Structure 1
Amino acid sequence: MSSKIKHLSSILAPVSLGELIDKITILEIKQIHMTGKKLKNIDKELKLLRKIVQDVNLEIEIDLINNLKEINNNLWEIEDNIRIKESNQEFDKEFIQLARSVYKENDKRASIKKEINQKYNSDLVEEKSYNNYLSKS
C-alpha cells in the first residue's frame, strides 16, 4: 500500500435508507449553523445526497423526516449545552441530565431510522445493541 496521499473526489458507500435520510436532516441543521467554506461544503454534500433520494424516486413520509430532524436538532442543542458546561467545568445536575438525554435521543433516532428502513424495504438495516436502561417495573 502506497503512503502517497491521492486526491479523492468522493467515495460511494452503501448505507441504509434511514441512514441516508438521517444524514440529510443533519446537514440541513448544519446549514443553519454554519457559514463560509463550511456552509459551502455542507451545501455540496446535501445536494448530492438529495439527488440520490430523488433518483430512486422515493417520497419518504414527511412525518418520519420531521421527527428525525427534530431529534437531530435536539441533539445539536444538547451537545452545544454539554460543551458549554464542560468548558465552564460545571458538572452539576443539569450536566448529568444533558448527558443522559444524549443516549435517550439517540435511541429515538435509531428507532425512526429503523422504521424508515423497514417501511421502505431497505436492503441494509442498522442494528443497535445496548443495555436496557428503562425501568423494569
Structure 2
Amino acid sequence: PADAIITALGSAAPRWVRESGMAVDDAGFISVNQHHQSPSHPHIFAAGDVAARTDRALAHSGVHAVFAGPVIAANLRNCLAGEKPRAAYHPRAHNLYLMNTGDGSAIASYGPFAAQGGWVLRLKHWIDRRWIAKYAALAKKA
C-alpha cells in the first residue's frame, strides 16, 4: 500500500522546436554537439530540457543545463569574436539530484545511492542558497 503514487514521465520537446527548421532528434529535441551548438544552425546553442546531444545520451536534466551554461557562454564569446566554439561539456558519471517532497523532507539520488529525510531537505536548501548567492554576487558586479 502507498499513500500516493507519482508518475514522472520526463520532459517532452516543445512543438515549436520541431517546427523551427533546426535539426532535431527523433523525439523533437534540438540536436546539439559537445559544444551544445546546433549542427544545422551554428549560431544557436541549447541545453537542458530542449536539447539532445548527438555524441552521447544525456538526461534532460536541469543539472546538465546548469553545468553546460558556462560552456555555452564561452562558446558564444568565441562565436561573437569570429572563432569556432572550443569549450565542450563533459558530464560527470553521476550527479546529485534533490527533490523537495513538500512535507519537510526531500529525496536525494546520486548514482546507485538514494536517501530521504529532513536532513536531505536541509542539504538541498543549503546548496540552493549557495547557488543563488553566487549569481546574486555576479549580478551586483555587472
Name the TM-score, length of structure 2 as normaliser. 0.32
Which of the pair is proportionally richer in helix? 1
Report which structure shows greater RCO (CA 8 Å, sep ≥6): 1
Which of the pair is proportionally richer in strand? 2
Name the TM-score, length of structure 1 as normaliser. 0.33
